[in-house]
Structure 1
Amino acid sequence: MASNYSQKVKGLKRGANMAGKLHKYFFWILLGFLALVSGSAYLYWKLERGGEGSVFEALWTILFTLIGQGEFANNPHTMVGRVIVFALSIVGISVLGVVLSEVLTRVMKYNLKNMLGLNACRYEGHTIFCGWNGRAELVLKELAASGQQVAVLTRAKPAELSHYDVFFVAGEPTNEARLIQAGIEKAESAIVFAEPQPGLTNDDLDAHTVLTALAVESLRPEIYTVVELLDPANERHARRAHVDDIVYCESTLADIVAACASQQGISSFIGDILTYSDSGSALRAADIEPQWENRTTGELFAAMQADGELPLGVMTPDASSGAERWRHEINPPASRPVRLPMRVVFISKNSGK
């Protein structure tokens, strides 16, 4: 038994050594191994067992013979059976070593590349984070709660990503090859964050943000791009990049703080409608369905309220803009006709956890 085990270990070691040299021929080696096992199973079933039982039982016996176990491995009845046992003991175990070694190597390489952000993202309809800052995790948390897949493209992997099921790509967000690796060709949206860098001013950071947006839009003009700017004076540059939305986190935060100071108690309401990861309600936008064409917003809003949703306003395409942008109207007149394309903004319950 000990000598048998020693032979198998030596065979596996020979196979592992062969794997390093035969990496290019792995596919053919795998085919040869499968042919050896299936052919041996058929011959065993036909000659050793006289066609009795099933071929699957014979295959099971051959697999055990491959590792030196079972009655057939120790006591074949025919000359063909002895040849099969000999071939499996000498050739089969070495080839098994090659196959196992190559499979493990490929799995380890994939996991290592995945950890280092070197693999290509295969998501579809996902959101790409270009860059990372202190606000990015909050955005990621909300998108993850809504079920949206996310790929993060930044120079170094943020430690916070270990808590989320996201795809990481290492690289410069302005690099087209890295954007393609992040799956921009099949992405639904991109968020370009103002990524802090030592020694750079707000204007420098905004310039880098606009360059990233240009790279995104040049590769996929139809993608919905949201950029974060630090200085509102740089909006004109971002508009030239044909971005869809611009957010000023610092000024928006200042507006919220001012509203909370002047409208006491409103902070919890604002926090509720902007959060998707709890069991409360949240602000949403959706395309109005074709059956509402030529009807009124009053009828649409009444139907939504009957379904437990709270409509706030509508959005229509901004014809004066060269880019695809939306003009919003809060609390429109009930008699206003619905003209598609049009979107409705409303508050509805989250799915909850």
Structure 2
Amino acid sequence: MRRSSNWRQSLQQLKQKLNSKLQPKLNNLQGKLNRFFRKPVVDFVLVVLIVFSVGLTLVALSQPNAFPSKGRIETIQQTITAIFALELGLRWFAASSKQRFFRNYWVDIIAVLPLLQVFGIPPVIQLLRLLRALRLFSLIVHYTNMLPLNLKRRTPEYFLIFELLFLTVLFGSMIILGFERGNDSAIESLEEALWYSIYSLFSGEPVISPIRSLGGRIMTVGFMLMHMTLFVVFTGTVSAFMVDKLRNENTLMELDQLSNHTIICGWNRKAEIIVREYKAAGKAKDTPIVVIAFINDDRTIIDPALRPIVRFLDDDFTKVTVLEKAGIRRANTCIILSDKSHGRSEQDADARTILAALTAEKLNPNVYTCAELINREYASHLALGNVNAYVVSQEHSAFLLAQVALNHGLMEVFGELLSYQGGNHFYRVPLKSEWVGRTFLDLFIHLKQVHNAILIAVDQPDGGYCVNPNDYTFQQDDQIILIAQHDIQF
């Protein structure tokens, strides 16, 4: 028993040593294989082999068994299939997740099953090689990143239609030819089977003399069903594409004509509140608000009355080209909201806010930039970039809650002052030259007696604010902050 235990222990230690030596080499090999499979030349070779394999499959299945070169074609096909099997084996070895590998390549695994013909599997299994066409379409879709945004967004739908057409015609032609050839039918060649499949698919009904075999009739019904499916998919895709194209063209034309407008980066419920406040203040009466965000359509606006004053730009607001398309060089104000969509962390959201704010200031130093931050510790970046204003959302909401708790009933006052929906609001008014040299108290009394407005602060030319000063004499270029029921012109 002791010898057996020592032997097992020694074997376990030997396995651990082998693993410690082999595992780094295996990881290194897996890394090299992954880098190899990511090379474009590998995808190009796969595309060539797939096209060649599908072509040979069509030739082999369309010819009678006595065809002289059929054996040579089958040898070439088995060689190509073996290459694909080797490729899949190496991909399986290099895959970090075997489950993900089978989920991504299960169709390709089925397509290499014709290798089993050496074990006496029926020749009809050669049809499975046609499934490699799906791999061909997936490789093409992989290289569509250079397409325009509108077309790229619809790429999966377009290639879904092409895949359905291609596979339906190929499989249908082979099945029709296999059942009808030699059965006293009008279909005796691959060309006739292909034309029959295409005509039946697009017309929705058989176009030549009735099919003789049961399998051919079942396939014909399949053509008719696929005709209805493709018609619905194609019509819906083209309609959606045309609607997007027309809407985006109109939007871009309007964006080119905008000036002195407001840009909102990001979209959420706070953005809708901002748009509603702009509308209530009369700021968006003549000039619409441009919103840059990843949004499928403008139906995300809950209030239908706000839709006419908003123009959506479906893109990333951190890109220079997107900000320029939105007219940042001609804009008056740029509001950047904290974007936590798509599972972004608070740190990532603040980083995007800072990047967009600094980019906007660089493109147009005259634009008034307001940014929303989650953490105050990143505010120094905005200050260094000369960003005009920022709001630390969590911090300022905490201040508001504290004030409401300390001063009961204060929320009604804040609610009226901070919203343009009704009542009194804050206004910023340039100081008239006739008031230069006079005191804060003089203007306070004048505004209250004449305009029923309350003077609360002064914005000085050097950028400093004086809130409710005890003794202040107005200077040139001062601006005043007051509370009133409407904009004051004095």
Do the two structures share a fold, i.e. TM-score over 0.5?
Answer: yes
TM bracket (short chain): 0.5 to 0.7
- Pick the aligned partner of 2:394 from 232, 242, 250: 250
Q: Larger Cα Rg: Structure 1 or Structure 2?
A: 2
Q: Could you say what secondary structure the match of 2:341 adopts?
A: coil
Aligned partners of 1:328 and 1:190: how far apart in 2?
A: 22
Q: Is the 8 A contact 1:110 1:119 kept in 2?
A: no
**Number of the residue aligned with 1:155:** 294
Match of 2:480 in 1: 344
Q: Tell me: CA distance 1:179–1:295, structure 2 relative to 1, closer, same or farther (3 Å).
A: same
| Between 266-275 and 140-149, the greater mean CA deviation after superposition | 140-149
Which of 289, 297, 306 is residue 440 of structure 2 equivalent to? 297
Alignment-mate amino acid for residue 135 of structure 1 = K
Displacement, 1:238? Answer: 1.4
Q: Give the equivalent residue in structure 1 for 2:114.
A: none
Decide which of 404, 409, 424 is 1:281's aligned counterpart.
424
**C-alpha contact (below 8 Å) 1:283/1:347 kept by paired residues:** yes
Q: Structure 1's 125 and 118: CA in aligned 2 closer, same or farther, altered over 3 A?
A: closer
1:199-210 to 2 correspondences below 5 Å: 199-210=343-354
1:141 and 2:284 correspond: no
SS of the residue aligned with 1:285? strand
CA contact (8 A) 1:184 1:220 kept: yes
CA distance in 2, matches of 1:114, 1:268: 45
Matched with 2:378 is 234
Structure 2 length as normaliser, TM-score?
Answer: 0.45
Answer whether contact 1:132 1:194 (CA < 8 A) is retained. no
> 1:337 is aligned with what amino acid?
T
Separation in 2, partners of 1:297, 1:243 = 29
- Deviation of residue 119 (structure 1)? 4.3
Q: Identity percentage over the alignment?
A: 26
Aligned to 1:173, which of 317, 341, 352? 317
In the other structure, the counterpart of 1:332 is 469
Aligned equivalents of 2:411, 2:283: Cα separation in 1 = 26
- Provide, for residues 200-252 of structure 1, a one-character-per-residue CA deviation record: whole Å limited to 9, x for no partner: 22111101100001111111001110000000001011112210001012211
Q: Deviations over 1:152-206 (max 9, x none)?
A: 1112245117541212222111222221222222211110110113332211110
- CA distance in 2: counterparts of 1:113 and 1:330, whole angstroms: 46
The whole-number CA distance in structure 2 between the counterparts of 1:330 and 1:212 is 31
CA apart distance, 1:124:
2.5
C-alpha distance in 2 between matches for 1:273 and 1:203: 32
User: What SS does the aligned partner of 2:269 have?
Assistant: coil
| Deviations 1:50-102 (CA, angstroms, capped at 9, x unpaired) | xxxxxxxxxxxxxxxxxxxxxxxxxxxxxxxxxxxxxxxxxxxxxxxxxxxxx
What is the number of residues matched between the two proteins? 235
- For the Cα contact (< 8 Å) 1:123–1:183, is it kept in 2? yes
- The structure that is strand-richer by fraction is 1
Matching of residues 311-322 of structure 1 within 5 Å: 311-318=455-462
Structure with bigger RCO (C-alpha 8 Å, 6+ apart): 1
**TM-score of the superposition, structure 1-length normalised?**
0.62
Q: Does 1:216 align with 2:360?
A: yes
SS of 1:238 mapped into structure 2: helix
1:252 counterpart letter in structure 2: H
Instruction: Give the distance between the partners of 2:244 and 2:418, measured in 1 at CA.
Output: 41
Alignment deviations for residues 113-150 of structure 1 (CA, whole Å, 9 cap, x no partner): 268x5445123222110112331111111011112231
Query: Equivalents in 1 of 2:280, 2:291: separation in Å?
Result: 16
Gaps of 5+ in 1: 1-106, 319-325
Please report how far the alpha carbon of residue 269 of structure 1 lies from its aligned counterpart in structure 2 after TM superposition: 0.5
Cα gap change, 1:172/1:109 in structure 2, threshold over 3 Å: closer, same or farther? closer
- Alignment partner of 1:187 out of 312, 331, 351: 331
Which consecutive residues of structure 2, in runs of 5 or more, have no partner in the other structure?
1-241
2:124 paired with 1:124: no
**CA–CA separation in structure 2 for the residues paired with 1:281 and 1:219:** 36
